[in-house]
Chains A and B, each alone.
Chain A
């Protein structure tokens, strides 16, 4: 087997805040192969967006990063700022959550698209605009030529997200990071956008890191899943297995908290009680322990380690995992 496109080993992200430094991502490891779809799932504040920004090299000023990130064999953390900039676009691109505020309201759609090609391929404005028009067509926007002259406020939310995607795809990235790309959109548009991402991934053999809090979307679109809680991965594995037989109580709780096809109307959803831990006072052992319904006496002990199954394809961070029936 060849080396993965992206390999992350024990990534740690620490941010400067008014209350001092705080760890938002801790001991995170995963790999993505070319053309693969990986889901990163967790509540808001679990560190999934910070992971994405760290990969892109867009962490906030004063952030301290540890561990290793290898992109196509190149060590990202030791690369210069200029090299990281050159990688953004042709190597990795990102689609953000809120298409309303993620496009520059002061610049025309055409300019915001064209500048990607001008920067990365030295294209002239004319060439770049022509290609931008094709890109808008490819993401399914009608009248692409008219769109080029328009400004973001003249487009609907779904159209803007299509523009965002076209923009991210323009430099033909090998890895696309989509951070909750459909959360701000209504359900019908959500489906269209997801189908579009799926199609583009297949056509361009691009790896997709799909960040979401919605396990339903994961089940439909992703091959493998990482579940994050309080800055750490608590469980990972192939989507089908992980959803059918979660080993970590947190994954199980997430699954119970969402309405499924089998949920009868009127049945209350099992909301997860409590709040994620304060990053300044992380529990020494399992970080989920204070909210866990299945906690036991030794869950607070420090030194909790990552465990994996025999093949190494599934793993969890729990001393008392749920039984793996079958």
Chain B
């Protein structure tokens, strides 16, 4: 990773709007006296947003505060996004680096397997997995990680093959380093730039997938909530209480927009 690209990455990572959004989701719930799962028995169900009765985003069909729910749901969505990305990172980098380092027939075989997996309708399989084996949050991570590692594996393998050609790797081999220690000391550090960029591009994909599953009722389960679940609830009552759709929807769109933009900028700075 060149000094220029690492500088660009650092600069982009402190993207101000994204940091603001994260901060808001983290400390926002502390600003309101309402808990995300408490029902306001004094207020109206599906109350419109108002500054007076402290339901700033209104309430949902059960009379729960939407401000608290949207931000708490955002925590879950972003948590799944980050952890899911880490899972796919772990699988993808390990698989890709091993295939690239070993090379030859093993590499060919491992990449054939990736090719076959690519042709599978993964969204269907994830839906199936979630339906069949219950809807635990942990399973969301696993399912998403299992889907998203293929791209990462391909990219890491390609980079590893390129790095392997360089002279210092040959030098390390002559000095008697084992394949594993070459991988750890020389290859992985050089993969960092690429991996950071593609991880950034993976986060919005995972957030989107979690929201999708939650929208179908397959993701996080009540009383916990996430943006996808809130949007699903909101869409049901949108004729009477459009704010229940608009607030979580806007948060999700803005988050995806900022993450996608960040990923694209990073990719450009690395190219």
In their complex, do chains A and B touch, with some C-beta pair under 8 Å? no
